[in-house]
């Protein structure tokens, strides 16, 4: 990996339902299609959207690894995302927990443990992507401060524009600057990259290379801009097929 590439990237939702989880998974799959090993860490403990992409028991989940099972190896919580015809790997560390543990996972000491888990993942993977909710809790602050780079994900609406400004201000409050703004379901004037909506209905897993060039090209742009990676072009119009139309996470 080139020295200029950014290992840990936080994708922060400017507002609920921005499509942050979808964006993170799509970008991870694009990087995997380029032969890279990518870990996706769920810091959106309340919505737990990453769990929708994997099946079976999710134990220990990320909240357990930062509370009751801090001595457990990171690998015990990782679940590989099955993506056809890619040379790389996407491993997900999802949140899937009862309310009591979710509450404890938001404490300061758990947030510190989350930083340690993220740094451990960074030592094992080419890229670590963080699914971060609006910055209003300890784990979100931990995620954005440990990241090498932060991208704001926002819907291409007036509400999204206002939420983006608010997110810039909250990030500044914790000493973080956003390097990238990504709008979903269209192009926002203040966004660096706009991801168009798609007509696909499968919202649970990436399905490999496809023909939705506009969407795939936008995901490639986000992956390159967020990580600094130079992705190898693919002749079919992009690195990754859409996994479905954006839905709120």
Which CATH number belongs to the domain containing residue 88 in this structure?
3.40.50.300
* In-domain check, residue 212: yes
b (16+ CB within 10 A) / e for 166-200? ebbebbeeeebebbbbbbbbeebeebbbbbbebeb
pLDDT per residue over 60-105, tens digit each? 999 999 999 999 999 999 999 988 778 999 999 999 999 999 999 9
Evaluate whether 90 touches 38 at the Cβ level (below 8 Å).
yes
> Is 244 inside a domain boundary?
no
For the segment 194-206, the average pLDDT, to the nearest whole number, is: 70
Whether 210 has a pLDDT exceeding 60, the answer reads: no
Q: Residue 46's CB: how many other CB atoms inside 10 A?
A: 13
- How confident is residue 197, by pLDDT bands cut at 50, 70 and 90? confident
Is residue 196's pLDDT more than 80? yes
Report yes or no on 73 lying in a domain: yes
Cβ atoms of 122 and 8 closer than 8 Å? yes
CA distances from 236 to 46, 209, 245 (A): 37, 7, 20
Mean pLDDT over the full length of the chain: 88
What is the extent of the structural domain holding 204?
A: 8-227
Tell me what pLDDT residue 82 has.
84
Q: Tell whether 218 is covered by a domain.
A: yes
Give 64: exposed, middle or buried? Use CB within 10 Å, 0-12, 13-18, 19+.
buried
Q: Is residue 156 part of a domain?
A: yes
- Kindly indicate the confidence band of residue 27, based on its pLDDT and cuts at 50, 70 and 90: very high
CB-CB contact of 200 with 243 (8 Å): yes
Q: Are residues 196 and 185 in contact, defined by beta-carbon separation less than 8 angstroms? A: yes
In Å, what is the CA distance from 39 to each residue of 106, 193, 222?
21, 23, 16
* 199 has pLDDT over 90: no
Structural domains in the chain (count): 1
Residue 3 placed within a domain: no
Measured between alpha carbons, how far is 221 from 42 in angstroms, rounded to an integer? 22
Q: Does the residue 248 lie in any domain?
A: no
Q: How confident is the model at residue 208 (pLDDT cuts 50, 70, 90)?
A: very low
149-155 and 89-93 beta bridge pairing: unpaired
């Amino acid at each position: 990996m080139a020295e200029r590439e950014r290992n840990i990237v936080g994708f922060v939702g400017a507002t609920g339902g921005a499509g942050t989880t979808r964006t993170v998974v799509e970008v991870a799959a694009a990087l995997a299609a380029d032969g890279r090993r990518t870990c996706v860490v769920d810091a959106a403990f309340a919505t737990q959207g990453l769990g929708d992409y994997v099946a079976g028991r999710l134990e220990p989940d990320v909240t357990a690894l930062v509370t009751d099972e801090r001595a457990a190896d990171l690998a015990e919580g990782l679940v590989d995302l099955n993506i056809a015809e890619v040379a790389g790997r996407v491993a997900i560390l999802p949140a899937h927990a009862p309310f009591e543990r979710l509450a404890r996972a938001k404490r300061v000491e758990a947030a510190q443990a989350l930083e340690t888990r993220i740094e451990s993942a960074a030592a094992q993977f080419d890229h670590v992507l963080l699914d971060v909710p609006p910055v209003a809790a300890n784990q979100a602050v931990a995620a954005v401060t440990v990241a090498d780079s932060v991208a704001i994900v926002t819907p291409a609406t007036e509400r999204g524009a206002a939420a983006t400004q608010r997110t810039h201000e909250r990030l500044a409050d914790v000493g973080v600057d956003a390097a990238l703004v990504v709008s979903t379901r269209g192009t926002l004037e203040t966004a660096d990259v706009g991801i168009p909506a798609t007509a696909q209905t499968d919202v649970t897993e990436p399905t490999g290379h496809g023909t939705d060039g506009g969407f795939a090209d936008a995901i490639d742009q986000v992956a390159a801009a967020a990580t600094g990676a130079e992705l190898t072009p693919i002749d079919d119009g992009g690195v990754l097929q859409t996994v479905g139309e954006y839905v709120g996470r």
